[in-house]
Amino acid sequence: MKIECNTCGGQISTPDDSIVGELVGCKDCGVEYEIVSVNGNQIQLQAAESIKEDWGE
């Protein structure tokens, strides 16, 4: 599966059997994302850094 990178607009490839909590990285800009939702062939990503920030508050 391919998802658009929110940071640079590049394509991120994810395995077909991706699961929530898996980390994927954008090859173009190096940002790491965590998969927060998998629904059929729709995947939602959240930047891993922003998740860590939430934990700190």
Please count the helices (runs of H) and the strands (runs of E) in the chain. Answer: 1, 5
Note whether 29 and 5 are within 8 A (CB): yes
Q: Which of 4, 11, 23, 29 binds Zn ion (CB under 5 A)?
A: 29
Verify binding: residue 28, Zn ion, rule CB under 5 A: yes
Task: Give CA–CA dist 56/27, Å, rounded.
Answer: 27
In angstroms, give the least distance from the CB of 17 to Zn ion.
22
Verify binding: residue 6, Zn ion, rule CB under 5 A: no
Verify binding: residue 47, Zn ion, rule CB under 5 A: no
Verify binding: residue 5, Zn ion, rule CB under 5 A: yes
